[in-house]
Structure formats: C-alpha cells, structure tokens
Chains A and B, each alone.
Chain A
Amino acid sequence: MRALVLLFVLAAPLAFAAEDSVRLDAAPIDPRDVASLQAGARTFVNYCLNCHAAGMMRYHKLLEIGLTEQQIKDNLLFTADKVGELMNVALTRREAKEWLGTVPPDLSVIARARGPDWLYTYLRSFYRDRESATGWNNMVYDRVAMPHVLWTLSGQQVQVERKFKSMEQAEGIARQQKNAWKIDVLTPEQAGKDAERFVLKTIRTETPGSLSQLEYDLLVRDLVNFMTWMSEPNQLERKQAGYVVLLVLLVLLVLAYLLYKELWKDVH
C-alpha cells in the first residue's frame, strides 16, 4: 500500500499542465439575502428580460423571495398578464436574428452553465471597442454579441494595455486591479527581441455613469445573486431537507451498527 501511494505521488505531475484564462472575481453572493434577491429581480426584469427570456421560470416563484403577488403585478409584470406565467419575451427568434445577429440565450439556468463568478466578472468587464458592431467588447467574452445594456449605470470603459518584461511584474500590478484582467503572452517573434512580451489588459472608466463603481458592483452582485437563485429556486429547500434526511440516516446508521455488532459477536 505504501508503494502504491508513492507511485501515485510520482505519477501526479504527468497529469497536470498549465491553464490560461481570464482571472474571474469571486461573486460575493448569498441566496439567503432576500433584499439582494429582490433588488436583483428588479434589475433582471428591467434590463435583461427584454431580449433574454427565462422561459423555465414562473413569476409566482418570486413569492418565495418575499415579494407579494401585488408587488409582482405592479412592478415586475411587463411581459406577461398573470403571475402564473413563464418569464418569456415578445422577441421572436427570427426578429432576434435580424436585429441582433443572434438569438439571446435563455437565462433560466445560465448561472449553472457559466457559474456566478463568470457572470459577476462578465457584467463588470465591458469596454468600448470601435471595431465591434455594437461598439462594445468584453474582457471575459471576446467579441460578444450583446451590447453593454447597463452602460448608463456603469459609465463607459476603455481597455488599457500595459507591457511588462516578466510575468511576475505583470501579475504584481494585476493583483491590485478591482476589475477583471488578463495577461497575453506574445511570442518573441511578435514582440521583437528583448521586448516586453507580457501584455496586461485591464479596463478603466472613461465616462462615469449614474452609479459609482462600488454602487455598480453592488447592483451586479444583486443581479447575479438573483440569477443564481433563479437557476435553482429550490436550492435552500434542498439543503434544509438534506439536514433532516441526514439526521434520520444517522439514526438508521446507529441502529444498523448495533444490530450488526449484536448479531456478529459470536462469529469468530
């Protein structure tokens, strides 16, 4: 057995190799924070639910985050008549193709596909790009089709490139960033001899929006919190049920163990 463990340790490096991608910020979300979920629901309905549907989500599920039926009707029900309906949009696939070039994905379970960290970083990483059709690009999703819908809130950002001679230098500066960053490594041919090959890309606010950066981050936090909750509305119930089930199983475990020991005590 000792030889086995040793062999595993020796074989481990074989299995790993370097990865590269944009560093994602951890989304500070909490599905138990009802106020945050409600704020997120408002942002979602006002800004997302015009092009994107959440076709597996019913409005009346919002009762579970503390809203009343009247509140839902008065404030959130724009695309449907009854709270029992699904969060669909009027935009058809054909119109979407024609107007936007692509069909905006359904967002019901997008948080489970992308992960909250990805969404949180993505929504805070748009920047102005003259070369794209919408005039916007994104650090996390290069050449994204979606324009920056929240730009009146966040203001307008531009991408900043800084070149460094070593990865350590680039990463040192990068760690001080509040927003997403990535480091592209140029080949010596691209950069020329002895040149600075490590390109740190970050974004900087050029024109401020109606919210400060902190306020905007909080708004995105609430939105991502809501989308994560929406991707599995039963997640809190699931965990609560889990504790009860485990408690019952522990009783079963003790009984089964005692019975086993009692029965087997004479077998030698």
Chain B
Amino acid sequence: MAAAEKQPVTITWAGPLNGAMGGLLTWIDQRFPLMDLWYSHLAKYHAPKNFNFWYYFGSLALFVLVLQIVTGIFLTMNYKPDAAQAFASVEYIMREVPWGWWIRYMHSTGASFFFICVYLHMFRGLLYGSYRKPRELLWIVGMLIFLCLMAEAFFGYLLPWGQMSYWGAQVIVNLFGAIPFIGPDLAIWIRGDYVVSDATLNRFFAFHVIAVPLVLLALVGAHLLALHEVGSNNPDGVEIKNAKDPKTGIPLDSVPFHPYYTVKDTFGVAVFLIIFSIVVFFAPEMGGYFLEANNFIAADPLKTPLHIAPVWYFTPYYSILRAITENFMWVLAAGVIAMAILIVWSVKNLRVRFAIGVLALLLLWGCYYFEPKVWGVVLMGVSVMIFFFLPWLDRSPVKSIRYKGPITRIALALFLIAFFVLGYLGTQAVTSGRTLAAQIGTAVYFLFFFLMPWWSKMDKCKPEPRRVTGK
C-alpha cells in the first residue's frame, strides 16, 4: 500500500486531544510506517498466552542492555582511556563525580546481571526447545549476541586497569598466541604491543564503547525481527499457529504482546530492579564475584598475581581451558576414536563414513602433534561454539522438557551440574584434586552435546498436546 493511501489513524486514548493527535499520527504514518511497526511488533504481535517465569529474561536482557548503554555513556564522559590515568579516573568517578559511584556500580553490576539474564534466557531455550525448527536462525542470531556480549565484557574488563583487568587480558590474549604457526604474531597484532599496554587499553576502549555495541544492537534488532517472523515458542513447545480463529486468523492461545506482555514484563522489570538495587547499593562487590579485590590494585606489568581468575561468567570455559593437561590427552584421543566409531556405525552413507574416518585420523595426529595448551584453547572455543549446533544435535520428536523422557532430564541435570562445578572451579586456584574434578566436568559437558543426537532420539517422550495447556 502506498504511503499516501493509508487510512487516517484513529486513537481512543487521547481524549480531548484525539483530533490533534490522530492528525499528527496520520501525517507521520503517510511518510513513515509507524503504525505498521507498532502493530506488527507490539499491539498485534500475538504471543502465546502461557509464558511462565523463564520468559521474563529476554525482555530483562534487553532492559539491561539499555541500562548498560546509558550508564556507559555517562562513564565515558569521565573515564580516561590512558594507562597512566585509567585507574585513577575510575576512582575519580567513584569519589568526585556527583552520583558517579552509582553510575559505576550500576554498570559493573549490570555486566554480571546481563550474563545472569542471558544464561537464564538460554537455559529457557534448552528447557523448551526454543532453538528447534523453525527457530534455528533465531537461535543462531541469539548465539551471535552471546559471543558479542562475551567480547564486550572482555574488552570492558580491561578498562578499570586494575591488576585483574591487566593480567586477565594478558592471559586471554596469550591464548591466541597458542594458535599454531600464526599465534605469536596474532597476539602482538591484537595487543598492538609486546605486552598489554597503553596501546591495548586504547583499542579495547574503542571496541568496548563503539565497535561491539554497534554490532550488538544490530544483532538484537535481527533477533527481534526473526522472533516476530516465526513467533514465540512456549513452555509446551507446540505451535500456537496450528489453532487459529477461523474468522480473524489470530491464534486462539495467544494474547497481543501489548498490553499483555508489556505490562507483565514491567512487573518483571520491577522485581529485577529490586534485586539489582540490593546488589548495587548494599553489596556492589558481591563478595568479590562482581568486583574482584585484586582489581583495586592498579595494573602493574612487573607483578603477576599468584592467582588469576576471570569474572564468574567466564569461569566455566576457563575451567575447561585449564582442565586440558598432558594426562587428559589420552581421554581426548579415546573420545575422538569412540565418536568416530559411533558415527560410522550410525551413518550408512559411505562418503560420510570416509570423511569421519579421515577427520578422526587428523584429530588423533593433532592430539599427538600439538601441545595440550593448544587443545585447551580449541576445546574452550568449542565449548562455546557447540551451542550454535543445538538445533541439529537435538533430534527429539518433541520440543519441550514437559514431554521429554527421563534421559533428557538426567542429561540436562548432569550438564547443569557440570556447568556449575566448572564455574566454581574456574574461580579457584589449581590443585590436583580440582583439576581432576574439572576434567570430569569437561567430559560431562562435552558428552552432553556430542551424544545428544543419540540420547535425544532414544528418549521415551510423551505425546505433545494439540494446544497449549495453560500455565
């Protein structure tokens, strides 16, 4: 429909201003698809009516994103991205900028809460199969957001220029140095120097305040567009589009997102803000988990802290990195052989069998040829990237955990325990006992994903209902 032919907008809520407001909206609408956007994404976006607790975290993550951007803008006004001044400028914000401590604590606490929301949002996807057809792309865009968020957190963590900032960045950049052949040069290219220095701080600042946020915002936009194209999943994992009102074509088990979910999510935001504020005002360090004690010592390139640990949201992957030791390599090799046999046994296609055989031999050669450190980096990367493949690893006939059988429940519980145990171990110094625990955790973590095509198919599922079951 051409813009000029659009119907005048009538509104009911403006009272005496109705005529004027309606006129203004009509004027805009003939030049910009304002009402179309409003209807297609809010007032006439029909969401399942049975969202539960787990469905708060998408909108909450969006809320925290806005919070981080707004507080970040104010921090940028006073922060100095300069190795000689950065640490003191943060304290300047904390002490002398009016309400600066509040802005800074909201930003530092917001970082952790962003990950809490996103992890819970992702776990919701695992529970109810939100990544399954037709939502594969939605899931992939979500995973890209997660990667961006990790990059954003990593770059931002250097900025306070404390000991943990400095040595954390040093450790992570050195990981790139472990890449065979190009690694050492790559690490120098990333740092812009032979050690983490002023040059590194400046470029990390640029990435943190503009480059990554731009990508993040674009991806969040794409995530919402993809969501509104395919429609939301729900705790029952059945498509609400299968039961539509014959006259209106609106799914029977849906409510318009606005006002139903805007109001419900406002309640969610209120609860969130209360929990968030308790941390911001009464425990901003959160016992060293949100703000680490060592980061109140200015960065010193000559003093390596005894114990370097990333912030809690990275610790599961950090544990996996540290778990890959010399004596764990035979477990890896055995895993490669077992996976190859399993795939060859399950797949009839000869070409696939041949390719798997070659890949397994290559990996075995690699286990022998490259240091365990290289494999630690590889497996850490895989532990994050593997989430991308969930839509194709899960071969269960049903989506939601409500209709899945005992195998899925046990597998998911084991995965969750492995994730938490790895997360805890990543905050602790290494001992031989802890390394063993981390190795067991790593094995469970990867078995969950690598064996999913088999256990998800074997599981005895209950039949899905035809329509959603209410709460």
Which A residues form the contact surface with B (CB < 8 A)?
3-4, 7-8, 11, 14-15, 17, 55-58, 61, 105-106, 108-110, 112-115, 231-234, 238-239, 241-243, 245-246, 249-250, 252-253, 256-257, 259-260, 263-264, 267-268
CB-defined interface of B89-117 with A at 8 Å, one 1/0 digit per residue?
Answer: 00110111000011001000000000000
How many A-B contacts if CB must be within 8 Å? 110
CB-defined interface of B425-454 with A at 8 Å, one 1/0 digit per residue?
Answer: 100000101100100100000000000000
Chain B residue nearest to A255 in the complex (CB): B270
> What 4 A-B pairs come out closest when comparing CB atoms?
A242-B281, A113-B296, A56-B91, A112-B296
Query: Do the beta carbons of B282 and A249 come within 8 Å of each other?
Result: no
Query: Do the beta carbons of B417 and A253 come within 8 Å of each other?
Result: no
Chain A residue nearest to B433 in the complex (CB): A17
Q: Interface segment, B139-147, B239-247, B257-265?
A: B257-265
B416 contacts chain A at the CB level, 8 A cutoff:
yes
**B277 contact set on A, CB distance < 8 A:** 242, 245-246, 249
Query: Do the beta carbons of B470 and A257 come within 8 Å of each other?
Result: no
B329 contacts chain A at the CB level, 8 A cutoff:
no
Tell me whether A115 and B434 are in contact in the complex, defined as CB-CB below 8 angstroms, given that A11-B421, A253-B270 are known contacts.
no
Extra contacts besides A3-B409, A108-B91 (19): CB < 8 Å? A7-B414, A14-B421, A15-B424, A17-B434, A56-B91, A61-B95, A109-B296, A113-B297, A114-B293, A232-B94, A238-B281, A241-B102, A242-B282, A246-B277, A252-B273, A253-B270, A256-B266, A260-B264, A264-B260
**CA–CA, A16 and B273, complex, Å:** 33
B212 contacts chain A at the CB level, 8 A cutoff:
no
**B266 contact set on A, CB distance < 8 A:** 256, 259-260
**A257 contact set on B, CB distance < 8 A:** 267, 270
Query: Do the beta carbons of A56 and B259 come within 8 Å of each other?
Result: no
Query: Do the beta carbons of A113 and B280 come within 8 Å of each other?
Result: no
**CA–CA, A231 and B417, complex, Å:** 38
B278 contacts chain A at the CB level, 8 A cutoff:
yes
Chain B residue nearest to A263 in the complex (CB): B263
**CA–CA, A250 and B296, complex, Å:** 33
Query: Do the beta carbons of B101 and A234 come within 8 Å of each other?
Result: yes
Q: Is the interface of A mostly helix, strand, loop or mixed?
A: helix
B352 contacts chain A at the CB level, 8 A cutoff:
no
**B440 contact set on A, CB distance < 8 A:** 14
Query: Do the beta carbons of A241 and B281 come within 8 Å of each other?
Result: yes
**CA–CA, A201 and B327, complex, Å:** 39
Kindly identify, within residues 295 to 309 of chain B, every residue whose CB is under 8 Å from any CB belonging to chain A: 296-298
Query: Do the beta carbons of A264 and B413 come within 8 Å of each other?
Result: no
**CA–CA, A241 and B100, complex, Å:** 13
Query: Do the beta carbons of B281 and A239 come within 8 Å of each other?
Result: yes
**CA–CA, A114 and B417, complex, Å:** 32
Q: How distant is B153 from chain A, measured CB to nearest CB, in Å?
A: 21
Q: How distant is B109 from chain A, measured CB to nearest CB, in Å?
A: 12
Q: 29 pairs across A/B with beta carbons < 8 Å?
A: A7-B414, A7-B417, A8-B420, A11-B421, A14-B421, A15-B424, A15-B434, A15-B437, A55-B88, A56-B88, A57-B95, A58-B95, A112-B285, A234-B101, A238-B105, A238-B281, A242-B277, A246-B277, A249-B277, A253-B270, A253-B274, A256-B269, A259-B266, A260-B266, A263-B259, A264-B264, A267-B255, A267-B260, A268-B470
Query: Do the beta carbons of B271 and A56 come within 8 Å of each other?
Result: no
**CA–CA, A232 and B284, complex, Å:** 12
Query: Do the beta carbons of A259 and B437 come within 8 Å of each other?
Result: no
Interface centre among A56, A105, A267 (most CB of B within 10 A): A56
B350 contacts chain A at the CB level, 8 A cutoff:
no
Q: How distant is B448 from chain A, measured CB to nearest CB, in Å?
A: 13
**CA–CA, A231 and B88, complex, Å:** 13
**CA–CA, A125 and B231, complex, Å:** 65
**A268 contact set on B, CB distance < 8 A:** 470
Query: Do the beta carbons of B410 and A112 come within 8 Å of each other?
Result: no
B49 contacts chain A at the CB level, 8 A cutoff:
yes
Query: Do the beta carbons of A263 and B293 come within 8 Å of each other?
Result: no
Tell me whether A256 and B88 are in contact in the complex, defined as CB-CB below 8 angstroms, given that A114-B293, A238-B281 are known contacts.
no
Contact among B96, B273, B425 for A15, CB-based, below 8 A? B425
